[in-house]
């Protein structure tokens, strides 16, 4: 790794890597906290619907008055994307605007770091192709799980190992699929008042709990790494770090996966609610498969946790630091011309499932809301049924009664066919 040296050299030459950040929420704020400490990196523009909130975020993370005064604050993401910077960071979390901002950045010749996994899963294959045509980098965000897993998968393949499984950990019970923002805080051990005082958005945090965020992230990993999504959706098996190689291997050899080459999320809770021993709630993992007996013997000799056969071994990282690590993506794109993970093909999707019985005329409220949750499915299944991606399941009326637990199709709702996000998804369906 020599990104720090390359960035420092750019700074010393008076040509720092110039960045526009769109979205000054938690992820963006964590990135901003690190910027003053990275030689050769400059955030020249920050866009947010609430400009005062963006300035306040800069103060909160320790920016001095001079740095704030030297930064342009905008309320238009498109304007920031076309401000003549080297790299645009899209961190709004809103799929439609995220796609628009990414396309505007590419048109302006800027590299794009897509923190907005929702937008990437909705239209990533098209966005990646547009970036290649424009001669810019389109990248996942280092520090978030999809990019970290992509790095581990690439390492495994570059060293000659087959990837049996890859993914992350989370807190999961089957009942969580029905949780709404009304009762989300009890599952985090917080009161509504405590959460509000901390500025925590109940719908956003509910998307982590009800399985939607896991579905989105696993679809992104499948699309970037050429892995498969389980046909019946994610299983969320309870599993600690010591058992990864035992649980996340094919059923034919005693594991819980259909075959090698799958994405999966492991739960930090047993199904009865007890905590899993040495859980991976905040981390990521990859399960390797040795190509021969010699490599399998080396797994044990050098301390990798293996299954009983010794042929499967697990590697993991017990944490991810989201925005604190984001500069790796920014500098990699600007200085090396390389993404830290990127959608390569459409292999996985995250689609809308009814949380309860829905009546014709009801309006869906999207990720983490009261009406639907996101389920990971193979892209072939989504394409064949024209299933409704969770990224388009917000603010749209349902045209028929839908039973709880039923996956919705695009034909079940009234979409704005003029919206760029809808057009790109239609193009993916062929």
User: What are the tens digits of pLDDT across the range 200-214?
Assistant: 889 999 999 999 999
DSSP strand pairing (394-397 vs 363-365): antiparallel
In a domain, 411, yes or no: yes
**130 and 152 belong to one structural domain:** no
The pLDDT of residue 197 = 80
Q: What is the CATH number of the domain that holds 403?
A: 3.90.1210.10
For residue 57, is it within any domain?
A: yes
What does the DSSP 8-state code read for residue 367?
Answer: T
197 assigned to some structural domain: no
Statement to judge: residues 101 and 160 lie in one domain: no
Number of structural domains (the chain) is 3
* Inside any domain, residue 194: no
Q: Can you tell me whether residue 408 is helix, strand or coil?
A: coil
The per-residue pLDDT for range 92-129, each reduced to its tens digit, is 999 999 999 999 999 999 999 999 999 999 999 999 99
Give, in order, the Cα–Cα distances in Å from 89 to each of 118, 126, 131, 139, 355: 14, 18, 14, 10, 33
**Do 247 and 110 sit in the same domain of this protein?**
no
Is 9 a domain residue? yes
Predicted confidence at residue 287, as pLDDT, reads: 98
Q: Decide if pLDDT at 199 tops 80.
A: no
Instruction: Tell me whether residue 343 is in a domain.
Output: no
Tokens for 124, please give them: 């990533």
Same domain for 286 and 164, yes or no, is yes
Name which of 230, 225, 238 is nearest 258 in CA terms.
230
pLDDT for residue 279: 98
135 with 151, same domain: the answer is no
Give residue 293's Cα distance to chain centre.
36
- Tokens standing for residue 88: 């645009």
Do the beta carbons of residue 85 and residue 45 sit within 8 Å?
Answer: yes
Residue in 108, 349, 134, 125 with CA at minimum distance from that of residue 228: 349
Handedness of CA 119, 124, 129, 135 (dihedral sign): positive
Report the mean per-residue pLDDT for the chain: 97
Does some domain include residue 199? no
Select from 311, 336, 361 the last residue of a domain: 336
Task: State the CB neighbour count (10 A cutoff) for residue 127.
Answer: 23
- Do 306 and 421 reside in the same domain of the chain? no
Residue 237 sits in the same domain as residue 383: no
What's the DSSP call for residue 341? S
What pLDDT digit, counting tens, does each position of 407-419 carry?
A: 999 999 999 999 9
Does residue 1 surpass a pLDDT of 80? no
Neighbours of 135 (CB within 10 A): 10
Distance CA 421, CA 186 (A): 35
CA dist., res. 60 & res. 53, Å (int)? 10
Query: Residue 134 belongs to a domain with what CATH number?
Result: 3.40.50.720
Q: Which of 286, 301, 336 is the last residue of a domain?
A: 336
On whether both 11 and 98 belong to a single domain, the answer is yes
Mean pLDDT of 81-90: 98
- Considering the domain architecture, whether residues 156 and 279 belong to the same structural domain is answered as yes
Residue 195 belongs to some domain of the structure: no
333-369 b/e (C-beta count within 10 Å ≥ 16 → b): bbbeeebbbbbeebbbbbbbbbbeebeeebebbbbbb
Q: Give the percent of the chain with pLDDT over 70.
A: 100
Average pLDDT over residues 222-231: 98
* pLDDT for 198: 73
- Domain ranges, residue 233: 146-172+211-319
Q: Say if CB 212 and CB 367 are below 8 A apart.
A: yes
Residue linked to tokens 């500098």? 331
**Residue 248 confidence class, pLDDT cut points 50, 70, 90:** very high
Q: Which helix (H) or strand (E) holds 153?
A: helix 145-158
The C-alpha atoms of residue 233 and residue 170 are separated, in whole angstroms, by: 15
Identify whether residues 54 and 117 lie together within a single domain. yes
Q: What are phi and psi of 7, to 5 degrees?
A: -65, -45
In which element (H, E) is residue 156 found?
Answer: helix 145-158
The whole-angstrom separation of Cα 97 and Cα 92 is 8
Distance CA 166, CA 153 (A): 7
Give long-range contacts, CB 8 A cutoff, 24+ apart: 383-387.
383/346, 383/428, 383/429, 383/430, 385/409, 386/410, 386/411, 386/429, 387/349, 387/351, 387/352
Q: Write the DSSP symbol of residue 334.
A: I
Neighbour-count burial of 67, counting CB atoms closer than 10 A to its CB (0-12 exposed, 13-18 middle, 19+ buried): middle
Q: Taking each helix axis from N to C terminus, what angle separates 420-429 and 95-107, rounded to the nearest 10 degrees? A: 90
CA dihedral 225, 230, 236, 241 (to 10 degrees): -50
Helix (H, G, I), strand (E, B) or coil at 388: coil
pLDDT greater than 80 at residue 309: yes
Where on the phi/psi map is residue 138: left (φ > 0), alpha (ψ -120 to 50), or beta?
Answer: beta
**Domain-terminating residue out of 303, 336, 369:** 336
User: Closest Cα to residue 42, out of 334, 275, 269, 302?
Assistant: 334
Task: Please state the rounded mean pLDDT for residues 7-21.
Answer: 97
Specify whether 15 is located in the same domain as 113.
yes
Say yes or no: 134 and 154 in one domain.
no
């Amino acid at each position: 790794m020599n990104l720090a040296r390359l960035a420092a050299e750019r700074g010393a030459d008076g040509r720092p890597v110039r960045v526009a950040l769109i979205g000054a929420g938690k992820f963006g704020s964590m990135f901003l906290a690190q910027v003053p400490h990275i030689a050769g990196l400059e955030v020249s523009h920050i866009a947010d619907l609430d400009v005062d909130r963006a300035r306040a975020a800069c103060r909160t993370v320790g920016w001095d008055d001079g740095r704030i005064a030297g930064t342009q604050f905008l309320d238009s993401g498109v304007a920031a994307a076309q401000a003549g910077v080297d790299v645009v960071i899209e961190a709004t979390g809103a799929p439609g605007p995220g796609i628009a901002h990414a396309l505007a950045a590419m048109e302006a010749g800027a590299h794009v770091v897509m923190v907005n996994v929702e937008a990437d899963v909705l239209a990533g294959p098209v966005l990646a192709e547009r970036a290649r045509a424009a001669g810019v980098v389109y990248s996942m965000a280092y520090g978030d799980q999809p990019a970290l897993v992509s790095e581990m998968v690439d390492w495994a393949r570059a060293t000659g190992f087959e990837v049996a499984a890859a993914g992350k950990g989370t807190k999961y019970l089957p009942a969580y699929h029905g949780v709404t923002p009304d009762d989300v805080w009890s599952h985090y051990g917080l009161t509504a008042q405590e959460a509000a005082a901390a500025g925590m958005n109940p719908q956003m945090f509910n998307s982590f709990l009800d399985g939607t965020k896991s579905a989105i992230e696993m679809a992104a990993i499948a699309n970037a790494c050429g892995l498969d999504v389980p046909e019946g959706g994610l299983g969320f098996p309870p599993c600690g770090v010591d058992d990864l190689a035992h649980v996340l291997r094919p059923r034919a050899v005693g594991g819980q996966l259909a075959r090698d080459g799958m994405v999966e999320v492991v739960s930090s809770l047993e199904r009865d609610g007890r905590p899993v021993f040495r859980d991976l709630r905040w981390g990521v993992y990859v399960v390797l498969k040795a190509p021969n007996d010699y490599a399998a013997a080396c797994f044990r000799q050098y301390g990798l946790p293996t299954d009983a056969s010794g042929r499967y071994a697990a590697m993991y990282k017990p944490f991810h630091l989201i925005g604190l690590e984001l500069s790796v993506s920014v500098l990699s794109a600007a200085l090396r011309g390389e993404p830290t993970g990127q959608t390569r093909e459409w292999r996985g999707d995250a689609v809308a499932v009814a949380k309860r019985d829905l009546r014709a005329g009801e309006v869906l409220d999207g990720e983490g809301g009261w009406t639907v949750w996101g389920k990971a499915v193979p892209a072939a299944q989504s394409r064949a049924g024209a299933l409704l991606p969770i990224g388009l399941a917000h603010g749209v009326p349902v045209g028929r009664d839908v039973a709880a637990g039923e996956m919705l199709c695009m034909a079940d709702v009234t979409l704005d066919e003029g919206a760029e996000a809808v057009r790109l998804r239609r193009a993916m369906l062929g």
